[in-house]
């Protein structure tokens, strides 16, 4: 340290200066600021468990429109799609002009008809600005545009001929009246432009050009009369929150680049969940200590700024500072003032949002991971970050001092105010539009609204001012907001119209005609991907009934399959399961299974060793020498993925656990009191101990009691309103499997916490089939006929395969029914695959159903496939109500379908309450995550999947080293239409409002407009739409709905989104 007198001396001056300063931060203040910042961090945990949630969860207390703007300010992310994109949708007919008109009229309310200038109302002005693009550009570009294009010679292309001729006529008449002024004007104008005297020779072109030149001149004159106008906030403004922003703005040196590179390496090691063969030594110690130890020593080839860092660390160590003390010290030496503290800490933590958020997740919310972090890690991280920031800033200032020959730069306070001064940093935030830019906007608006120059000439300065104010109030963000509302309105109307056009339900008072026999019943998840599957089954056999319920089927459990090492929770993330269920081999198969497990273990160890060895020195040499053998699987897997997977499956049969298993759902151990798990700092204990504890807990909480089973069965059947039973009731959990897909878990069932819902369905069926459970239910008045059998199953939404569990235990009398049902389901799988394939550009459009099934099977096995399926993309609606209200409606896989029978709900609407409590947050989370990942894929989403690189077994980076990316990838959202989800609930507004009043979580989402809400009356087709705290009647805009023979006719040879249709044959 001593050999660097330079930095030392200036540091001393810095410190002496600081000592005189009175305002020091207290640790509490800093901790408070950190807590404030935590809310803004992304809350996505380790990627192996991906749960959809609202990206802007931190802003849910605000109305949606405000929140997206806040997000824009905080993260620099787009709040809506681009204006061009909405206009494209307008041209395409996805937004109708009427939508914009209605939205605008509603938005302006009474202010709509207020005149602005020349008899134009506010409504007309804004409408013109919404429908037509208003261009603006930097002054230089604008000058070029005016000089080199036809801007001043022809009207804009989107000005209607009527308006054009009206303007021309008005000018002409005016000129005839005032010929003297005309001559003067002509002279002036001819000087400026090429237009000639209109009175002399007047071809229509010249005439137009002359008029436009005049118009532009008038606009310039008008714009120069205008005073201060709040500008549309410019995109390239650099918000100054940290020192880095100042140095970047003044000298183009980004101090964050080297800091981030360093941090990514360090954090990767510190959070590694077991990927690296050589882990961070003593990683159980606090991060701050580890960091000090690693970087406190200088080495020869270190870049200069790291040498600064080791000096800073040495100082901290000398004064024996803890991480919080170090933060306080750093803040002081950075010359921070109290008022900027929150903002500074927010933006410091948000400079690597993904990693920072992951630290917080590992610290607080990840006791199930192999290596969570200890409490206080985020604070340690901030201390580390500030040390690095200081070192990097110091070295950047050193560079600048050298270039500019200003040795004084490094001396004195480092406060942002002083830096900004010394570095002559000009904030560009307050760039005001110049007269020319304003004039050009006015010029365009004048053309669109048909204002003639002679009329504009007469405006007073105040009128110009109010016009300009008005225009700038309708800036690009405002226009995008309105266009987005129109975009949503269009789809909402289509959806509500379609639902309203369904046949009205028969009033329950009248006895319905005797219901026919039911072929079988099918219960699936509410997932939008099951919509087509259910619809197609109903299409194949109209006597099939389908139901939808949250995919864990009200069986929350920790589950471990016979081939799994660990328990995984299978229930929504908000629930912490209390019961453990194991899958074990059947008694007769246990010896075989034991041997298979042994073989798997040996093979597993061997392949793990191979995997590790191939990356090491000696073993790597050996494996590489034999590496040519790797060419076989590689060529085969890439060129024939489906065939290869078939062969692999055949080979794997030897060690694959046999199907002859059963679930231990019943409690066999007597209940014991469990010592309450020490809740505080799970991170402190070692991983093995925690896992051992979970195992112990599992032993104690193995399985459910009969009473509990009966409760769960009763609850689900009640939710579904299922009371007439067919002989066979299928219940299908769902999940998805794909290769080369780090986000695989996001494709699984959200209601199972990113797991696969098969075991839940299987457990439910076992419970519902248990005669003792049925007996209990019978005593409660729920009679399940003896002939009814429940069959659990698992639907893979990627390959469209359906697998059934425990069919060997079906009563022989059901066998025929089962085989029949199975063949129908097989048909449905093929047709479902064909409907899905229309979306995939690599599948040709004319694919026949059997080929389509093969195609989707290949997708799941293809290493090269970046889009194994489209997951929830394009989701837009969630219907809660009886299936008969939507049955026969083609909804294009865009609707969640939750079964709920309002006629069977109690007076307190308990059933609807518990359904909505689960469905609204979950579907809103999915819809909003898709929304944000689509409108700004680079910030809210995780960018393109192509360069993704799995790191620390926690998440993905882009390329070699980057922030941990959260959200959804471009390939997942590319076909999504970002809209807030529309809930249609079969109930009365009264009931729904009451539920909202009692549930603040739901109310917050609804009243802040994060979701749209409508009710459908249980006894008629009356629809009411939620607006500002109440419901208003919805009048269907059109009654005509497309009628087609079947789904195939609807989607056949179509790639894009499809409108609703009624399926003719029922």
Site for another protein in 838-857 (CB under 8 A): 841-842
Residue 272 C-beta: closest distance to another protein, Å: 5
Residue 162 C-beta: closest distance to another protein, Å: 39
Please report, as residue ranges, which positions from 492 to 531 form the binding site for another protein (by CB under 8 A): none
Among 97, 605, 772, 990, binds another protein (CB under 8 A): 605
Region from 60-68, 85-93, 576-584, 615-623 binding another protein, contact rule CB under 8 A? 615-623
Q: Does 282 bind another protein (CB under 8 A)?
A: yes
Q: Which is nearer to another protein, 335 or 657 (CB)?
A: 657
Q: Does 866 bind another protein (CB under 8 A)?
A: yes
3-state secondary structure of 703: coil
Q: Does 293 bind another protein (CB under 8 A)?
A: yes
Region from 119-127, 423-431, 625-633, 819-827 binding another protein, contact rule CB under 8 A? 625-633
Number of H helices, E strands in the chain: 39, 22
Q: Which is nearer to another protein, 627 or 1029 (CB)?
A: 627
Q: Which is nearer to another protein, 201 or 300 (CB)?
A: 300
Do the Cβ atoms of 480 and 488 come closer than 8 Å? no
Q: Does 800 bind another protein (CB under 8 A)?
A: no
Q: Does 639 bind another protein (CB under 8 A)?
A: yes
Do the Cβ atoms of 477 and 485 come closer than 8 Å? no
As given in the structure block, the two tokens for residue 831 are 């047709």
Tell me which residue has tokens 């003067």.
Answer: 184
Please report, as residue ranges, which positions from 544 to 573 form the binding site for another protein (by CB under 8 A): 563-566
Please report, as residue ranges, which positions from 910 to 969 form the binding site for another protein (by CB under 8 A): 944, 946-953, 957-962
Residue 737 C-beta: closest distance to another protein, Å: 9
Residue 880 C-beta: closest distance to another protein, Å: 35
Q: How many CA atoms lie within 13 A of 160 on its CB side?
A: 7
Among 251, 620, 1057, 1059, binds another protein (CB under 8 A): 620
**Alpha carbons 237 and 888: distance in angstroms, whole number:** 52
**Most distant CA pair in the chain: distance in Å?**
111
Q: What is the DSSP string of 970-999?
A: HHHHTT----PPEEEEES-HHHHHHHHHH-
**Alpha carbons 978 and 930: distance in angstroms, whole number:** 7
Helices (H), 236-352: 243-251, 255-271, 287-295, 304-318, 323-333, 341-349
Region from 290-298, 520-528, 666-674, 1056-1064 binding another protein, contact rule CB under 8 A? 290-298
**Alpha carbons 241 and 345: distance in angstroms, whole number:** 9
As given in the structure block, the two tokens for residue 79 are 């709040």
Do the Cβ atoms of 483 and 475 come closer than 8 Å? no
Please report, as residue ranges, which positions from 734 to 753 form the binding site for another protein (by CB under 8 A): 739-742, 744
Region from 62-70, 624-632, 723-731, 786-794 binding another protein, contact rule CB under 8 A? 624-632
Region from 31-39, 205-213, 509-517, 858-866 binding another protein, contact rule CB under 8 A? 858-866
Q: Which is nearer to another protein, 708 or 861 (CB)?
A: 861
3-state secondary structure of 790: strand
The interface mask with another protein, positions 343-382, x = CB under 8 A, is ---------------------------x------------
Q: Does 82 bind another protein (CB under 8 A)?
A: no
**Alpha carbons 377 and 233: distance in angstroms, whole number:** 37
Q: Which is nearer to another protein, 288 or 295 (CB)?
A: 295
Residue 560 C-beta: closest distance to another protein, Å: 10
Dihedral, CA atoms, 681, 682, 687, 690, nearest 10 degrees?
A: 140
Q: Does 865 bind another protein (CB under 8 A)?
A: yes
The interface mask with another protein, positions 668-707, x = CB under 8 A, is -------------------x---x----------------
Continuous segment of H or E residues that includes residue 919: helix 910-935
8-state DSSP, 755: B
Q: Which is nearer to another protein, 6 or 274 (CB)?
A: 274
Residue 180 CB neighbours (<10 A): 7
Among 628, 673, 679, 779, binds another protein (CB under 8 A): 628
Among 424, 626, 650, 1065, binds another protein (CB under 8 A): 626
Please report, as residue ranges, which positions from 221 to 280 form the binding site for another protein (by CB under 8 A): 265-266, 268-269, 272, 274-280
Question: In DSSP terms, which residues pair with 1023 in a beta bridge?
Answer: 1016, 1034
Residue 511 CB neighbours (<10 A): 7
Question: In DSSP terms, which residues pair with 568 in a beta bridge?
Answer: 559
Number of residues that bind another protein (CB under 8 A): 91
Please report, as residue ranges, which positions from 33 to 52 form the binding site for another protein (by CB under 8 A): 47-48
Q: What is the DSSP string of 99-149?
A: HHHHHHHHHHGGGGG-EEETTEEHHHHHHHHHHSPPP---HHHHHHHHHHS
Q: Which is nearer to another protein, 375 or 866 (CB)?
A: 866
As given in the structure block, the two tokens for residue 14 are 């810095």
Residue 370 C-beta: closest distance to another protein, Å: 6
């Amino acid at each position: 340290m001593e050999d660097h007198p330079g930095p030392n001396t200036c540091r001393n001056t810095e410190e002496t200066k600081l000592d005189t300063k009175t305002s020091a931060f207290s640790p509490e203040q800093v901790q408070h600021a950190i807590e404030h910042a935590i809310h803004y961090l992304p809350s996505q945990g380790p990627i192996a468990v991906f749960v959809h949630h609202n990206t802007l969860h931190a802003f849910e207390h605000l109305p949606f429109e405000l929140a997206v703007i806040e997000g824009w300010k905080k993260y620099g992310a787009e709040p809506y799609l681009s204006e061009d994109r909405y206009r494209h949708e307008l041209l395409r007919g996805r937004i109708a002009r009427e939508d914009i008109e209605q939205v605008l009229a509603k938005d302006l309310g009474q202010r709509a008809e207020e005149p602005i200038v020349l008899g134009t109302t506010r409504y007309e002005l804004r409408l013109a600005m919404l429908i037509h693009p208003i261009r603006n550009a930097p002054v230089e570009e604008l000058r070029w545009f005016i000089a080199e294009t036809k801007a001043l010679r022809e009207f804009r292309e989107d000005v209607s001929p009527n308006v054009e001729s009206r303007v021309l006529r008005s000018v002409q008449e005016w000129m005839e009246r005032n010929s003297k002024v005309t001559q003067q004007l002509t002279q002036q104008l001819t000087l400026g432009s090429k237009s000639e005297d209109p009175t002399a020779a007047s071809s229509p072109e010249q005439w137009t050009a002359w008029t436009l030149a005049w118009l532009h001149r008038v606009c310039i004159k008008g714009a120069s009369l205008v005073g201060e106008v709040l500008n549309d906030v410019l995109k390239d403004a650099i918000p100054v929150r940290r020192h880095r922003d100042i140095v970047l703005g003044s000298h183009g040196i980004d101090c964050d680049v080297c800091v981030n590179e360093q941090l990514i390496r360090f954090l990767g090691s510190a959070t590694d969940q077991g990927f690296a063969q050589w882990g961070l030594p003593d990683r159980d110690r606090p991060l701050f200590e580890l960091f000090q130890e690693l970087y406190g020593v200088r080495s020869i080839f270190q870049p200069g700024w790291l040498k600064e860092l080791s000096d800073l660390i040495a100082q901290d160590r000398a004064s024996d500072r803890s991480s919080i003390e170090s933060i306080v010290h750093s803040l002081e030496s950075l010359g921070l003032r109290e008022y900027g503290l929150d903002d500074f800490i927010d933006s410091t933590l948000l400079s690597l949002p993904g990693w920072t958020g992951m630290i917080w997740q590992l610290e607080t919310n990840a006791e199930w991971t192999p290596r969570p972090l200890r409490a206080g890690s985020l604070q340690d991280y901030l201390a580390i970050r500030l040390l690095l920031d200081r070192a990097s800033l110091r070295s950047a200032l050193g560079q600048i001092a050298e270039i500019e020959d200003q040795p004084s730069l490094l001396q004195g306070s480092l406060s942002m105010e002083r830096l900004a001064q010394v570095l002559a940093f000009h904030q560009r935030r307050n760039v005001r539009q110049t007269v020319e830019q304003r004039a050009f906007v006015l010029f365009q608006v004048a053309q669109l609204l048909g204002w003639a120059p002679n009329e504009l000439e007469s405006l007073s300065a105040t009128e110009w001012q109010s016009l300009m104010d008005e225009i700038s109030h309708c800036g690009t963000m405002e226009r995008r907001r309105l266009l987005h509302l129109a975009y949503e309105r269009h789809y909402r109307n289509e959806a509500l119209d379609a639902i309203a056009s369904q046949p009205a339900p028969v009033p329950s008072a009248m006895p319905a005609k005797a219901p026919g026999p039911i072929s079988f019943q099918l219960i699936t998840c509410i997932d939008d991907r099951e919509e087509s599957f259910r619809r197609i089954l109903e299409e194949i056999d109209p006597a099939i009934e389908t139901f939808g319920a949250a995919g864990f089927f009200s069986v929350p459990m920790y589950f471990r399959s016979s081939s799994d090492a660990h328990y995984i929770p299978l229930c929504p993330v908000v629930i912490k399961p209390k019961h453990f269920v194991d899958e074990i081999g059947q008694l007769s198969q246990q010896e075989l299974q034991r041997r298979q497990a042994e073989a798997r273990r040996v093979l597993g160890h061997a392949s793990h060793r191979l995997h590790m060895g191939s990356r090491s020195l000696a073993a790597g040499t050996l494996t590489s020498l034999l590496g040519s053998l790797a060419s076989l699987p590689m060529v085969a897997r890439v060129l024939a993925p489906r065939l290869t997977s078939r062969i692999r499956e055949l080979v794997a049969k030897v060690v694959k656990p046999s199907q002859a298993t059963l679930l231990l759902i019943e409690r066999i151990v007597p209940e014991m009191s469990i010592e309450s798990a020490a809740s505080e700092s799970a991170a402190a204990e070692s991983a093995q101990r925690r896992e051992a504890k979970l195992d112990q807990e599992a032993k104690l909480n193995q399985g459910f009691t009969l009473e509990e089973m009966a409760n769960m069965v009763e609850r689900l059947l009640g939710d579904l309103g299922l009371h007439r039973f067919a002989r066979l009731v299928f219940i299908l959990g769902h999940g998805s499997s794909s290769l080369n897909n780090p986000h695989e878990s996001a494709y699984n069932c959200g209601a199972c916490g990113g797991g696969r819902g098969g075991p839940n369905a299987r457990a439910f069926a076992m419970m519902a089939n248990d005669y003792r459970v049925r007996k209990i239910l019978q005593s409660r008045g729920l009679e399940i006929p003896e002939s009814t059998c429940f069959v659990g199953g698992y639907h893979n939404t990627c390959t469209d395969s359906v697998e059934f569990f425990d069919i060997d235990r079906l009563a022989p009398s059901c066998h025929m029914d089962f085989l029949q049902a199975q063949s129908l389901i097989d048909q449905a799988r093929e047709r479902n695959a064909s409907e899905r394939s229309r979306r995939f550009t690599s599948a040709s459009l004319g694919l026949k159903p059997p080929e389509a099934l093969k195609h989707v099977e290949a997708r799941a096995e293809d290493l090269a496939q970046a889009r194994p399926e489209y997951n929830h993309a394009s989701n837009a609606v969630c219907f809660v109500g009886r299936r008969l209200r939507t049955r026969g409606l083609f909804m294009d896989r865009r609707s969640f379908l939750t079964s709920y029978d309002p006629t069977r709900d109690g007076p307190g609407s308990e059933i609807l309450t518990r359904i909505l409590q689960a469905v609204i947050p979950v579907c809103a989370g999915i819809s909003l995550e898709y929304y944000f990942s689509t409108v700004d894929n680079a910030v809210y989403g995780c960018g393109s999947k192509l360069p993704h690189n799995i790191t620390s077994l926690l998440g993905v980076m882009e390329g070699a080293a980057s922030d941990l990316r959260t959200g959804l990838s471009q390939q997942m959202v590319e076909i999504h239409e970002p809209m807030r989800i529309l809930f249609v609930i079969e109930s009365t507004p009264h009931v729904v409002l009451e539920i909202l009043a009692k549930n603040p979580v739901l109310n917050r989402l609804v009243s802040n407009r994060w979701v749209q809400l409508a009710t459908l009356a249980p006894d008629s087709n009356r629809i009411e739409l939620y607006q500002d705290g109440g419901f208003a009647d919805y009048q269907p805009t059109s009654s005509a709905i497309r009628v087609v023979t079947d789904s195939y006719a609807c989607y056949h040879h179509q790639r894009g989104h499809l409108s609703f249709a009624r399926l003719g044959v029922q």
